[in-house]
Structure 1
Amino acid sequence: MTAADPCPCAPSRALRDRAARGWEKFVHRAAAGLPSAPGHPVDAAGHEQHPLVNTLVRDIPSGKEGLLLAVTHEPHPDGRVVRIAHIRPLSGVEWSTAADNVQAVR
């Protein structure tokens, strides 16, 4: 490998572009005085009262569609809380994704 060759451990251009768009979305929300995540109520068990629960949604990265069963908040040891969307397709295996990756099917 020469200095001109990209490091094989470096993120792809597409990944860097997606990260940049996500960061811009975060910055624009912050500049507008909005929280980085919607402020939906969360119960003691960590279930968010998300308005799209029991709605047909699309997981944007995968393009798959299914019924949004729940949005849960999972605490991590480093103090972060990750919002997870749990989706059941019309047929097949249920999956989860980041809650920000979900949009209603129109």
Structure 2
Amino acid sequence: MIPAPGPGEDPPPPGAPSRALRVRAAAGWERFMRRAEAAGAYPVGADGYERHPLLHGRVRDTASGAEGVLTAVTHETHDDGRVVRIAHIRGENGVEWTAAADNIRPNDEGKGMRADDSTDRG
């Protein structure tokens, strides 16, 4: 059964989430944040940005081997309710990419490739 709009509330336009879904999503986000805080995770602001200790520092994406500066870590909620941590990295050449935040490590100088190097050397 679909809940009726609250008093003085217009029904959502077609395709928009219902009030009940928005309330449920907000409650789920609050539960996620409480669990993350209890587990010692990094704090997240109301804007969805994580206060990661490597923020604005040189990092290496272990999946690709590319290096750059960590510009942000955001949290994205997928359709199935999972929250995924996304690292935003800017290479020396100015090109930005995203990676799983769990794949980010502090840059070990002299090891790995720089973000502007190509893996194709031929």
Using the size of structure 1 for normalisation, the TM-score is 0.63
1:57 is matched with 59
Report the 3-state secondary structure (helix = DSSP H, G, I; strand = E; otherwise coil) of the residue aligned with 2:80: coil
Bigger radius of gyration among the two: 2
| Percent of aligned positions that are identical | 58
Report the 3-state secondary structure (helix = DSSP H, G, I; strand = E; otherwise coil) of the residue aligned with 1:47: coil
Cα distance, 1:92 vs structure 2: 4.2
Matched, 1:101 2:116: no
The 5-angstrom pairing of residues 84-99 of structure 1 reads: 84-99=86-101
Q: Identify unmatched segments of 5+ residues in structure 2.
A: 1-37, 109-122
2:81 is matched with 79
What residue identity is the alignment partner of 1:55? G
Q: Identify unmatched segments of 5+ residues in structure 1.
A: 1-33
Runs of 4+ in structure 1 off by over 6 angstroms are none
What residue identity is the alignment partner of 2:60? R
By percentage of residues, which structure has more strand? Answer: 1
RMSD: 1.6
2:42 is matched with 40
